[in-house]
Amino acid sequence: MTNKSQHSKSSIIWIILLLLVIGGLVWWNLSQRSEMQEMVEQMTIEKEELQEEYEDLAIQFDGYQELDIRNDSLQDLLSREKQRVQDLLEELRQTKASNARKIAELKKELATVRAVMKDYVRQIDSLNATNARLTEENQLVRRENQQMRSRNERLAEANNALTETVTRASMLEIISCNLTTLNKNDHKTRMASHIRKLQFDFTIAKNITCTPGLKDLYARITDPNGDLLEQSEAHTFPFESEEIYYSLMQQIEYTGEAYSGSCYCWIDEAKSGFYTIDFFCEGNLIGSFPFQLKK
């Protein structure tokens, strides 16, 4: 009887221990499920936040592409990075929230794209600053060209006034100037696209009151936009207490008799329209002639 009672007590103890083990396993399993559920919920939140960051980045790329970026290479880089963001965003959308490793990789990719975009923003800002500076310089050049055109008008008026004075008698005067347009082989051509050299055949009037000797003859040639051809910082001569630019210079021997000569000007790209050549000698405007290049 005693043995039977002891056996019964032993069985009860084992059953209790078994129940405790089973209970512990059930509790551990429920605890693990709870932790897993919390982890999935956290990863879901992280995925949604990461997706919003990618979408914001895509919008930023759209904004920069709408800017007037005058740099084809930079535009192409922006387009490629924008497509990369779209591809990563689509990959993120298809990734399950429980795939922590993949989400971590996409988060690293986002940091890389942001770093690249930061560099592009720096380049765009630098490019915009350069464009602003060039725009200001272009406006300055246009103002200077306008001032030069105004000066040419004043010079023409001054020349007309000088013809009425006695001092005109001692000045040289170019009474005719004919233009011949040449190609790169020095053959005559009338097509503006083929013109590479301008030949001016001029005649200086007889003037026995002018002091004979070597004379420096300067010519200024302006194109249809009012820009000076062959402009160089070293190519200047004195006129009206200033140093102004010239297109070409030629030294002639003047004896007081009528003088005929030729001068040449190379031109990289001829524009169709009206040009002007102004001749200067000894600080005076001695001739002004318009000519036209046709298409």
- The CATH number for 244's domain is 2.60.40.10
Mean pLDDT score, 189-211: 91
Whether 72 and 154 map to the same domain: the answer is yes
Q: Do 146 and 72 share a domain, yes or no?
A: yes
Residue type, 280: F
What's the rounded Cα separation, in Å, for the pair 128 and 194? 37
The structure tokens listed for 52 are 């919003």
Biggest distance spanned by C-alpha atoms of the chain = 164
Q: Are 197 and 267 in contact (CB under 8 A)?
A: yes
* Number of domains into which the chain is organized: 2
Residues 240 and 277 in one domain: yes
Out of 63-77, 194-208, 221-235, 272-286, least confident range: 63-77
pLDDT exceeds 60 at position 130: yes
- Same domain? For 214 and 152 the reply is no
The pLDDT assigned to 34 comes to 57
At 269 the pLDDT is 84
Q: Which two tokens stand for residue 142?
A: 């246009």
pLDDT, the chain, mean: 79
pLDDT at 167: 62
DSSP string, 252-283: EEE-SS-EEEEEEEE-SSPPSEEEEEEEEETT
Within-domain flag for 8: no
How large is the average pLDDT for residues 271-278? 92
pLDDT band at 171 (very low <50, low <70, confident <90, very high): confident
Query: Would you state the pLDDT for residue 97?
Result: 62
- Scored b (16 or more CB within 10 A) or e, 118-152 reads eebeebbeeeeeeeeeeeeeeeeeeeeeeebeeeb
| 86: containing domain | 29-162
Summarize the confidence of residues 120-137 as an average pLDDT: 70
Strand 242-245 and strand 236-239: pairing?
A: antiparallel
Q: Which residue has the tokens 């800002």?
A: 125
The structure tokens listed for 92 are 């993120």
- Eight-class DSSP state of 193: G
- Nearest Cα neighbor of 151 from 280, 292, 291, 293 is 280
* Rounded average pLDDT over 124-133: 69
What percentage of residues in the chain have a pLDDT greater than 90?
Answer: 30
